[in-house]
């Protein structure tokens, strides 16, 4: 476990740099979000008057290495909140998915072939991360509850949702996303202790994309590790892969949360990775890089 992973179990102190005095309003909104969602995050806020060049980002990042436990957040001149990880700014950047979201369908998105969600569906993305897969699920018109255990990630997601809500083309989709900072296993446990007769709680699909050891993205031909994108690289600093026991709990609790007989749990894995919790799937969908294992409730 690295220092950021340890720090994430208690209150997390984050350095937030902003670049303009006129961003006070955005900062107040971020603080309000932290309070409203009970995120265990304390922001240490500072105006950064230099230009945020790549070199300055690297220097700030090295500062992080010295302090060891304080993640750095940046509110840039476009009012995007990002996390400075190893000198690279990472943010959900949902607008970059626009083309995929607009044209998403079962032909183009393996996830949608597997999940079979429709506009009437309710899905839970239990490992939301940067929310990219949630957006693809929600592109169908489905309601998507996004669970994310890491407060820092939850803050990035909430800030991105707020930013995107201001864009007319995205408002409807944003309204279908509900972001919750919680551990998925506890969330499913609390669902099962409430009455499943409540129609509001009926869930068609639970989607799981748990962390994977960093070296497990193997190139099929060479057997060498495939390059992990900057988003995943950053996530590896915060979150660790589940233990065998956690894998079992995650899959079991997800299966107990899908209430419909036609309901399903879909698990994303690197193409050649072992099954989650070693449990055989009902059906698999795959391409060269990725595999979706489907576990059917009925
Ligand atoms: C591989 S990433 C998911 C990436 C995501 N599918 C996307 O499109 O960006 C896994 C994420 O799930 C979160 N996570 C892992 N286990 C979790 C759990 N038990 N409950 C909630 N979130 C969890 C991690 O913190 C991490 O952000």
Task: Please give the pLDDT value at position 226.
Answer: 57
Same domain, 182 and 207: yes
Task: Please give the pLDDT value at position 257.
Answer: 94
**Which of 43, 66, 90 is at the close of a domain?**
90
Same domain, 58 and 124: no
Is residue 25 over pLDDT 90? Answer: yes
Is residue 145 over pLDDT 60? Answer: yes
Same domain, 110 and 53: no
Q: What CATH number is attached to the domain comprising 26?
A: 3.40.50
Same domain, 133 and 234: yes
Task: Please give the pLDDT value at position 149.
Answer: 97
Q: Which of 132, 146, 149, 158 should be mutated for ligand 1, with most atoms under 8 A from CB?
A: 149
pLDDT in tens, 60-96: 777 655 555 689 999 998 899 999 988 889 999 999 9
- Cβ–Cβ under 8 Å, residues 293 and 273: no
In this prediction, residue 49 has a pLDDT band, given cuts at 50, 70 and 90, of confident
Same domain, 141 and 178: yes
Same domain, 83 and 101: no
Same domain, 174 and 254: yes
Is residue 148 lining ligand 1, measured as CB closer than 6 Å?
yes
- Cβ–Cβ under 8 Å, residues 92 and 132: yes
Q: Residue 235: give the domain boundaries.
A: 94-296
ipTM of the complex: 0.99
| Number of domains into which the chain is organized | 2
Is residue 235 lining ligand 1, measured as CB closer than 6 Å?
yes
pLDDT in tens, 237-295: 889 999 999 999 999 999 999 977 889 999 999 999 999 999 999 999 999 999 999 99
**Which of 90, 110, 141 is at the close of a domain?**
90
Is residue 253 lining ligand 1, measured as CB closer than 6 Å?
no
């Amino acid at each position: 476990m690295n220092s950021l992973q340890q720090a994430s179990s208690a209150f997390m102190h984050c350095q937030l740099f902003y670049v303009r005095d006129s961003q006070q309003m955005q900062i107040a909104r971020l603080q309000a979000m932290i309070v409203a969602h009970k995120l265990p995050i304390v922001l240490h806020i500072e105006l950064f008057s230099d230009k945020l060049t790549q070199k300055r980002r690297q220097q700030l990042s090295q500062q992080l290495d010295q302090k060891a436990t304080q993640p750095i957040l940046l509110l840039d001149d476009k009012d995007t909140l990002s996390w400075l990880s190893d000198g690279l700014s990472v943010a959900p950047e949902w607008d970059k998915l626009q083309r995929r979201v607009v044209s998403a369908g079962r032909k183009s998105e393996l996830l949608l072939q597997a999940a079979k969600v429709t506009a009437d569906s309710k899905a839970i993305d239990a490992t939301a991360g940067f929310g990219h897969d949630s957006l693809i699920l929600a592109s169908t018109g489905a309601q998507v509850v996004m669970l994310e255990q890491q407060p820092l990630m939850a803050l990035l997601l909430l800030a991105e949702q707020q930013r995107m809500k201001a864009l007319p083309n995205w408002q409807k989709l944003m309204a279908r996303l509900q972001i919750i900072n919680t551990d998925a296993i506890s969330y499913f446990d609390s669902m099962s202790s409430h009455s499943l007769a409540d129609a509001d709680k009926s869930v068609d699909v639970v989607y799981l994309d748990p962390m994977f050891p960093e070296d497990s993205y193997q190139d099929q031909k060479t057997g060498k590790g495939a390059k992990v994108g900057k988003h995943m690289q950053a996530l590896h600093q915060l979150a660790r892969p589940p233990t065998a026991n956690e894998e079992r709990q995650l899959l079991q609790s997800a299966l107990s949360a899908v209430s419909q007989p036609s309901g399903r749990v879909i698990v994303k894995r690197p193409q050649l990775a072992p099954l989650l919790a070693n449990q055989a799937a009902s059906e698999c969908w795959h391409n060269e890089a990725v595999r979706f294992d489907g576990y059917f409730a009925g």
